[in-house]
Structure 1
Amino acid sequence: MTASDDTAEQIAARLDGIVRRQRRAAKADVEGLTHGRFRVLRTLDQADRPLRLSELATQLGIVPRSATSVVDDLEAGGLLARQPDPHDRRATLVALTPAGADLLATVRRNRRDAMVTLLDRLTPDEQSTLLGLLNRLADD
């Protein structure tokens, strides 16, 4: 069974709308945080250790020069800090600062709260079904 073009387009439009709503909610009360900057903070948080700029760029799927620009901006805002790599004097590591971790927690809380508001329209069984379907679609 395949989805009709019309059905696929409708689903894509609905998902886009939900994602936009989530991004807006995530940035509520958070100035200057783009989706790209959020991804950098999230990636460093998930790494559970400081990363070299090249590692960060690879995990983000961007070129190192782009990673450097974003890190520069986040460092200027006090959200990240560069530190020397103890294993390679030529390399620099990037780590979240406490302010960066706090901002990331705020963004995650805003996203969660926005999703809870959306999901309140569904019964617990519908929420469970939706999660199961999304998991199936997300599996690679």
Structure 2
Amino acid sequence: MPGWRFPTEVITLAQEALQLLVSMHRIVRHLRRSRTTTLLHPTQFLALMLIADEQPIRIGEIAARVPCSQPTATTTVATLEQAGLVRREPDPVDGRATAVVLTEAGASTVEASGRQAADELAILLSRLDEPDRALVLKAGEALSRITDGL
């Protein structure tokens, strides 16, 4: 339709969303670079955290939730398995299939990585004054609701 334009509020929301996206990416990159506990590829790290939350979990579900392709999920799980962080076992729902679970080493890695990432993020948050820090932490709750079911 000639002459039609997005409403100003939609354009403003998109601009603010872009600023949020760039900031979140920069924070995540900073946290990845500062992580000394593990030297996992980001996909491996995401898969490991997902396995910790959802175990036992099938590789297809890992692919859908990380998200990545099925072959990438299979390779990722194989790498984590070789590192001793996960193991495959019969799926409790369908014994013909396999599911992935954490090993003790995997659980320790998840705990250490999570603790370190939280500590690093706390350092970043300490740069803000109290009202802004509270606002960011409250936004974290809303962002968590957005990501549920992704």
Of 35, 41, 44, 1:37 maps to 44
- How far is 1:78 from its partner? 0.2
SS in 1 for 2:90: strand
Corresponding residue for residue 28 of structure 2? 19
Identity %: 31
The structure with more strand, counted as a fraction of residues: 1
Corresponding residue for residue 52 of structure 1? 58
User: What letter corresponds to residue 27 of structure 2 in structure 1?
Assistant: I
Could you tell me how far apart the structure 1 residues matched to 2:76 and 2:56 are?
A: 16
Could you tell me how far apart the structure 1 residues matched to 2:142 and 2:88 are?
A: 39
- How far is 1:127 from its partner? 0.7
Flag structure 2 segments of 5+ consecutive residues without an equivalent: 1-8
The TM-score normalised by the length of structure 2 is: 0.75
- How far is 1:125 from its partner? 1.9
Higher RCO structure, 1 or 2 (CA under 8 Å, sep 6+):
1
Deviations 1:77-113 (A, max 9, x none): 0000011234434211110101001011111111111
The TM-score normalised by the length of structure 1 is: 0.80
Flag structure 1 segments of 5+ consecutive residues without an equivalent: none
Deviations 1:45-91 (A, max 9, x none): 111x3112222222223232221110000000000001123443421
Could you tell me how far apart the structure 2 residues matched to 1:7 and 1:63 are?
A: 31
Q: How many residue pairs align between the two structures?
A: 137
Could you tell me how far apart the structure 2 residues matched to 1:89 and 1:137 are?
A: 36
Listed as ranges, the matches of 1:1-140 within 5 Å are 1=9, 2-3=11-12, 12-25=21-34, 27-31=35-39, 33-47=40-54, 49-133=55-139, 140=146
Going from structure 1 to structure 2, the CA distance change for 1:9 and 1:83 (only over 3 Å counts) comes to: closer
After the TM superposition, which segments of 4 or more aligned residues of structure 1 sit over 6 Å from their partners?
A: 4-8
